[in-house]
Amino acid sequence: MDVKNVTVLGAGTMGRGIAQASAMAGCSVVLYDIKQEFVDGGIAGISKILGKSVEKGKRTQEEVDGIMGRIKKSIDLAEAVKDADFVVEAVPENLDLKKKVFADLDKLCKPAAILASNTSVLPVTAIASATQRPSKVIGTHFFNPAAVMKLVEVITPIGVAEETVQITMDFCKKIGKVPVKCKDTPGFIVNALLGSFYQIAAQMVMDGVATAEDIDTAMKLGANHPMGPCELADFGGFDIIANGSDEMFKYTSGKSGQLCLLYRKMIEAGRLGRKNGKGFYDYLPDGTKKPFKLF
Ligand code: CAA
C-alpha cells in the first residue's frame, strides 16, 4: 500500500511535527485533537515554522501554502480517521489512554488502515492488545523536532505482520525519514541510551562536578552533539523525562530508569524546561538564554 492519507492524533509538539513532515512529503493529512484550541495551536505552530523558512529563503510562499493546504483540522475522531491509510497516535504518554484510543481507532478505521503509536516508552504490544487487529499495529517513534529529525524507530510488537512493517518502513522513507527497526523493549534504542545521558548529566550538576553550561559545552565541543544534555533535557521537558524514566523503571523492574532527584526538585519548583522558559537555563523573551543558578 502506498500511504496517501495520514491522520495524526494529538496536535502537541510531536503530533504537529509528524503532520508537518507528512504534508511536506505530499500526503493528505488530518490533524486531530480533542479540543479546537489544541488543533488551532498545532496548525499555528506549523504555520509559524514554515513562515520562518520563507523568511530564510528556504521555501517559497506558494510551497508553504501547498503544505498548509494539505493539512485539515478535526476534533471529530470518526471523521478524522475514516479515509486514513495510516494513523499516527501522538496523545499523552498514558497506557490506559492509548489503549482506549486504539480500541476506538479499531472500530472507526477502515480494515486495511495501519495504526501506529508514537509512544517513546510505553509497550506497543500492550497498546496493540486493545484492538482486534494487532497485526496492523506498530510503533513509529519520531524525534523532536519531528519535522526535522531524520530518525524514526519502527517498533515491532509481538503479532505485527511483516506487511505492516514493510508499509511502515516505506511510509517513513516517503516522508524523508530514515527508519530503524527495533523490538518492543523499554526506551527502544535512543531513549534507552539518552535516559542515562540525562540522569548522569543532572547528577553531575548536583554533585558540583561542573555547571550545566560547562557540561553542555563539553558535550557539544568534545562529542560533536548539537545540544548538550542539559539543553536537550530542557528541550524535551522535565515532566516528559520524569514520566519516561518512571515507565522505564516499571518495565525494567528498576534495572534502568532511575530518575535523578534534581529533575523532581526542578518540577516541584515549577521548572519544566524550555516549554515554560525555566530549566537548567532561563529562556528570555528576546530568544536568548542564561544559566539558572541552581545552588
Ligand atoms: N520545531 C520545529 N522545527 C524546528 C525547531 C522546533 N522546535 N527548532 C528548529 N527547527 C527547524 C528550523 O525551522 C529549521 O528548519 P528549516 O531548515 O526548514 O528552516 C531547522 O530546524 C534548523 O533549525 P535552525 O537552523 O534554527 O537551528 P539548528 O541548526 O541549531 O537546529 C535543532 C536546531 C534541529 C533543534 C538542533 O539543535 C538539534 O538537532 N538538536 C538536537 C535535537 C535532538 O537531539 N532531538 C532528539 C531529542 S530526544 C527525543 O526526541 C525523544 C523523544 O522520545 C521525543
Average pLDDT along the chain: 97
Delineate the domains of the chain, giving CATH numbers in brackets. 5-183 (3.40.50.720), 192-288 (1.10.1040.10)
62 is catalytic: no
Ranges of beta strands (E only) in 107-174 are: 114-117, 137-142, 151-156
Beta bridge partners of 289: 283
Range 156-178 average pLDDT: 98
What is d(CA 12, CA 275) in angstroms, rounded to the nearest whole number?
Answer: 12
Quick one: which of 115, 142, 152 has its CA closest to 130? Answer: 115
Q: What is the pLDDT of residues 177-235, one digit of tens each?
A: 999 999 999 999 999 999 999 999 999 999 999 999 999 999 999 999 999 999 999 99
93 is catalytic: no
- To test the pocket of ligand 1, the residue of 54, 89, 148 to mutate (highest count of ligand atoms within 8 Å of its CB) is 148
Q: What is the pLDDT of residues 113-138, one digit of tens each?
A: 999 999 999 999 999 999 999 999 99
5 is catalytic: no
Contact yes or no for 188/153 (Cβ under 8 A): yes
CA–chain centroid gap for 105, Å, is 20
Q: Is the dihedral of CA 18, 49, 69, 11 positive or negative?
A: positive
pLDDT at 264 over 90: yes
What is d(CA 216, CA 213) in angstroms, rounded to the nearest whole number?
Answer: 5
Contact yes or no for 174/24 (Cβ under 8 A): no
Give the DSSP H or E segment for 153.
strand 151-156
Distance 169 CA to ligand 1 centre (A): 22
What is d(CA 103, CA 294) in angstroms, rounded to the nearest whole number?
Answer: 45
pLDDT at 281 over 90: yes
pLDDT at 294: 84
Cell numbers for 266, please give them: 526542578
pLDDT at 295: 78
Contact yes or no for 172/140 (Cβ under 8 A): yes
pLDDT at 1: 87
Quick one: which of 264, 259, 190, 271 has its CA closest to 234? Answer: 271
Q: What is the pLDDT of residues 14-52, one digit of tens each?
A: 999 999 999 999 999 999 999 999 999 999 999 999 999
225 is catalytic: no
pLDDT at 142 over 90: yes
In this prediction, residue 253 has a pLDDT band, given cuts at 50, 70 and 90, of very high
- C-beta of 232 in contact with ligand 1 (< 6 A): yes
Distance 4 CA to ligand 1 centre (A): 26
